[in-house]
């Protein structure tokens, strides 16, 4: 991985299936076009409560960003968006299959990826990819890529952080391809390499006198 | 006499500064770690973060949209006098937080923990938190704001004297590895370690060690300073970089603070202050003048005193 080769890809959103085919894990992606935000507040309403989405999702875009903008509503009703940063996506795992079915989403952007089984069981059959933000604090870089707030839905009901923000973006990025159409995962690849060193780090360190109930005992496991 | 208005203006100014400008000590720490990082993906992430800091200042945007939980640390000189007293101070800090949220803007992160209700101003029950300390022979008021995320990268454990320093090392590795994968801790981080006190004091101390000391600072006790170096090196030997990619950049710096504790125990807390380590400080002098800086100077000799008097 030390000489990882990255290509830089610029995608028009909504994205076409053929555009998604060219993506390989580790590629750097920028977007032009329309994307929308949506996270647990939205999933609860649309997936759990089966409410009708307040917009035609599949016509609007097929790129769902797991984020909340640092935004404010001005006195004249307009919106100021300063920065945008993703939130950890693994927490939304349980909603993704139904969300894909309802929304037609093909690209999820977020922080840190999904559990690797989700790629093979949910993303690959859907033909969806996962892109991760970089860093993770690139709020200003991404904020610069937002040209305009096209619409905001459920602002009253969900608040600024959880509402659906429909954004017109240009050169919006960078993002890294974490999982491609085959379900390969950049994080899984990194974990495998890092795991080789784990045992030696703990050499000679004994277990503490008082143990804790735990859900994982292997240090090569992930906690997500 | 320090007025409520001057406190509110100063608090708004540091909140803006913290959100937009990465402190120099942290930026230099990342530059140094970038020099030694070999992995190209990890280097790409670090370079992107440095670009992001530049754009934040150029555009006057927050560097990270996750506001974290904005909060204040107030150190008051023993001779300070505030018009309206500490009630006026707390009111000014709450108002500044709401004003900053609207004008910068900051993401309104604070919600009721059960109903999830959001007032859209980062103010609420016990929010923003305000912690106090005191300094003798001074008539100024120091206000530090810290915006730290809080979902990952922190742990607490009751260890025992028999577990010794190895126990702390092991817990440190556990915390770095479990939250370092996929970069949940948003590393490279300033890692704060609190050792001792009671459970609650231990958590507070570790967090302050992460958030209120600057990169490069070492504990005045040479033995503790040595342990800080040891943990920093250990973290960077894991083989992990930013976002959990292969690399050698987990820990920008490590700060340990200690508090005398129960004779039978050794509580430990570990906290990671992230790639957007947001902190800014203002001193309001007795005559109303303000001076801005990024080093909280929280752990003064008086603050760390062990003596009876």
ipTM of the complex as predicted: 0.90
In A, which residues are within 8 Å of B39 by CB distance? Answer: 1-2, 4
- Do residues B162 and B79 share a domain? no
Please report the pLDDT score of residue A137 as a whole number. Answer: 80
Report the percentage of chain A scoring pLDDT > 70. 98
For residue A44, what are its two tokens? 């609860």
Among A47-61, A69-83, A190-204, B163-177, the range scoring the smallest mean pLDDT is A69-83
Residue among B71, B89, B72 nearest B80 (CA): B89
Asked if A141 has any chain B CB less than 8 Å from its own CB, the reply is: yes
C-alpha span between B31 and B25 (Å, rounded): 10
Q: What is the pLDDT of residue A4?
A: 57
Within-domain flag for B47: no
- Which run of H or E residues covers position A158? helix A155-162
Encoding tokens for residue A218?
Answer: 């292997």
Total domains present in chain B: 2
pLDDT value at A174 more than 70 = yes
Nearest to B33 by CA among B182, B210, B250: B250
Residues B251 and B208 in one domain: yes
Query: Which residue among B107, B116, B120 sits closest to A69, beta carbon to beta carbon?
Result: B107
For chain B, where are the E strands, in sequence order?
69-77, 130-135, 141-148, 155-159, 189-196, 251-259, 266-273, 278-284, 290-293
B186 with B71, same domain: the answer is no
Residues B99-126 pLDDT 10s: 999 999 999 999 999 999 989 999 999 9
B160: which chain A residues are within 8 Å (Cβ-Cβ)?
208-210
Neighbour tally for B1: CB within 10 Å: 11
Residues B92 and B219 reside in one and the same domain: no
Is there a domain that residue B36 lies in? Answer: no
Q: What mean pLDDT, rounded, does chain A reach?
A: 93
Fold of A8-201: fumarase (3.20.130)
**What is the mean predicted confidence (pLDDT) over A129-142?**
93
**Residue A84 main-chain phi, psi, to 5 deg:** -140, 130
Mark whether B160 and B144 lie in a shared domain: no
> Low-confidence residues of chain B, pLDDT below 50?
none
Q: What are the domain boundaries of chain A?
A: 8-201
pLDDT of residue A71: 86
pLDDT of residue A161: 87
The pLDDT confidence band at residue A218, using thresholds 50, 70 and 90, is confident
Domain membership flag for residue B105: yes
Q: What digits encode the pLDDT tens for the residues B214-256?
A: 999 999 999 999 999 999 999 999 999 999 999 999 999 999 9
Q: Is the dihedral of CA B54, B59, B64, B70 positive or negative?
A: positive
Whether residue B46 is contained in a domain is answered as no
Domain containing B162: what range? 150-273
Look at residues B11, B130, B141 and name the one whose alpha carbon lies nearest to residue B77: B141
pLDDT band at A73 (very low <50, low <70, confident <90, very high): confident
Indicate if the pLDDT at residue A5 is higher than 70: no
> For residue A2, is pLDDT > 80?
no
Please, what is the angle between helix B222-236 and helix B164-180, to 10°?
40
pLDDT reading at A139 higher than 80:
yes
Asked if residues B99 and B16 have their Cβ atoms less than 8 Å apart, the reply is no
- B159 with B197, same domain? yes
pLDDT (mean) for A11-37? 97
User: Which tokens go with B97?
Assistant: 């937080």
Q: Does B74 reside within a domain?
A: yes
Q: Looking at beta carbons, which residues of chain B come within 8 Å of A201?
A: 173, 234, 237-238
Same domain as B192, residue B255: yes
């Amino acid at each position: 991985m030390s000489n990882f080769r990255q290509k830089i890809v610029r995608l028009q959103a909504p994205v076409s299936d053929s555009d998604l085919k060219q993506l390989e894990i580790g590629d750097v992606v920028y977007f032009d076009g329309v994307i929308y935000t949506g996270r647990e507040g939205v999933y609860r309403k649309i997936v759990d409560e089966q409410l009708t989405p307040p917009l035609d999702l599949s016509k609007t875009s097929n790129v769902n960003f797991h984020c909340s903008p640092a935004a404010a509503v001005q006195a004249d009703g307009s919106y100021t968006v300063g920065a945008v940063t993703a939130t950890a996506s693994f927490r939304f795992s349980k909603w993704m299959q139904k969300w894909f079915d309802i929304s037609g989403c093909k690209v999820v952007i977020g922080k840190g990826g999904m559990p690797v089984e989700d790629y093979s069981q949910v993303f690959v059959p859907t033909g969806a990819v996962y892109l991760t933000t970089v860093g993770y604090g690139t709020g200003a870089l991404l904020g610069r890529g937002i040209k305009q707030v096209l619409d905001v839905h459920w602002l009253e009901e969900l608040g600024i952080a959880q509402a659906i923000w429909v954004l017109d973006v240009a050169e919006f990025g960078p993002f890294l391809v974490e999982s491609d159409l085959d379900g390969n995962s950049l994080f899984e690849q990194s974990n495998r390499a890092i795991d080789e060193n784990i045992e030696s780090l703990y050499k000679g360190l004994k277990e503490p006198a008082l143990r804790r109930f735990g859900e994982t005992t292997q240090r090569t496991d992930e906690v997500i | 006499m320090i007025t409520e208005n001057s406190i509110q203006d100063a608090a708004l100014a540091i909140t803006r500064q913290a959100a937009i400008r990465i402190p120099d000590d942290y930026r230099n720490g990342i530059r140094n770690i970038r020099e030694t990082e070999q992995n190209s993906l990890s280097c790409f992430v670090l370079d992107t973060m440095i670009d992001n800091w530049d754009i934040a200042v150029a555009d006057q945007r927050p560097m990270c949209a996750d506001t974290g939980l904005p909060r204040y640390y107030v150190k008051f000189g023993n001779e300070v006098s505030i018009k309206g007293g500490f009630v006026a101070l707390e009111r000014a800090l709450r108002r500044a937080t709401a004003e900053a949220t609207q004008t910068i803007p900051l993401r309104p992160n604070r919600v009721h923990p059960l109903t999830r209700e959001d007032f859209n101003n980062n103010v609420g029950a016990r929010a923003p938190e305000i912690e106090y300390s005191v300094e003798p022979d001074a008539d100024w008021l120091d206000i530090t704001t810290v915006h730290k995320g809080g979902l990952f990268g922190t742990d607490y454990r009751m260890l025992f004297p028999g577990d010794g320093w190895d126990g702390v090392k092991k817990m440190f590795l556990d915390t770095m590895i479990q939250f370092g994968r996929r970069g949940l801790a948003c590393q490279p981080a300033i890692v704060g370690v609190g050792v001792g006190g009671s459970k609650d004091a231990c958590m507070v101390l570790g967090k302050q060690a992460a958030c209120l000391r600057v990169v490069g600072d070492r504990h005045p006790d040479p033995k503790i300073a040595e342990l800080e170096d040891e943990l920093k090196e250990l973290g960077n030997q894991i083989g992990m970089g930013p976002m959990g990619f292969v690399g050698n950049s987990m820990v920008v710096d490590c700060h340990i603070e200690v508090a005398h504790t129960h004779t039978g125990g050794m509580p430990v807390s570990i906290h990671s202050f992230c790639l957007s380590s947001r902190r800014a400080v203002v001193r309001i002098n007795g005559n109303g003048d303000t001076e801005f800086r990024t080093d909280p100077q929280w752990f003064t000799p008086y603050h760390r005193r062990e003596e009876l008097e």
